[in-house]
Amino acid sequence: MFPEISLHILDIAENSIKAGATRIEIEVLRRTAERKLTVAVQDNGCGMDAEQLAGCTDPFFTSRTTRRVGLGIPFLKASAECTGGSFFIDSQKGRGTQIRAEYVTDHIDCIPLGDIGATVYSLILMNEAIGFFYRYGVDERQFTLDTDEMRALLGDVPFASREVAAFIREYLEENQKETDQEEIL
């Protein structure tokens, strides 16, 4: 099991990368009054057929016909469901996969979100050819990051160059703080 929800998101997004996705959308939405945290990952990768889809939440599903099957999905499902939350997965062969997990945040077994900024940062930096869309929301406040927009503004300056990488880190950190409405100087 993972100690942070953000590590589950990284792990699920790694599945999308292995599935050959060119666009990956990640959403983290907190509804404080309902004490719910929803995380979602959607990709346009190779997807799964009905049999793989049915088996992928079973940790003992041992098909070696695809590398998309492993412990990552059962882990996420268990970590959301053990808080009284829910798990949803849908996939279509050749179209992509979408996964959504809902956590009940005041349940004693609910793990913290953790460093979601580090998850998004490392995904963007390590996968410059993949388009990432990220949305982080708390109640009615939110911010987004779209790497296609970044690419358009940057031309051929790589994301992994020092200044751009530092900008991505700060952008994620500062905007999350403001969305969380913690006090900033």
Partner 1 sequence: MKSLEELKAIRERMQGQVEFRAENSDQIRVVVGMATCGIASGARPVLTTLAEEVQKRDLKNVTVTQTGCIGLCQYEPIVEVLEGGKDKITYIKMTPEKAVEVLEQHLVRGQVVEKYTLNETRL
Give contact residues for partner 1 (rule: CB under 8 A): 1-2, 7, 10-11, 14, 18, 67, 70-72, 75, 115, 118-119, 121-122, 125-126, 143, 145, 149-150, 153-158, 160-167, 170-171, 174-175, 178
Q: Most distant CA pair in the chain: distance in Å?
A: 53
Cβ–Cβ < 8 Å for 44, 21: yes
Shortest Cβ distance from residue 184 to partner 1 (Å)?
10
- Bridge partners for 132 per DSSP: 24
Shortest Cβ distance from residue 141 to partner 1 (Å)?
10
- Which residue, 108 or 156, has its beta carbon nearer to partner 1? 156
Shortest Cβ distance from residue 71 to partner 1 (Å)?
5
Cα–Cα distance between 22 and 42 in angstroms, integer?
A: 11
- Which residue, 50 or 160, has its beta carbon nearer to partner 1? 160
- Which residue, 70 or 84, has its beta carbon nearer to partner 1? 70
- Which residue, 54 or 71, has its beta carbon nearer to partner 1? 71
DSSP one-letter code for 71:
S
Shortest Cβ distance from residue 14 to partner 1 (Å)?
6
Shortest Cβ distance from residue 75 to partner 1 (Å)?
7
- Which residue, 156 or 182, has its beta carbon nearer to partner 1? 156
Give the SS3 label for residue 139.
coil
**Full DSSP string of 52-65:** HHHHTT-TT----S
Cβ–Cβ < 8 Å for 65, 27: no
How many other C-beta atoms are found inside a 10 Å radius of the C-beta of residue 166?
10
Cα–Cα distance between 69 and 73 in angstroms, integer?
A: 8
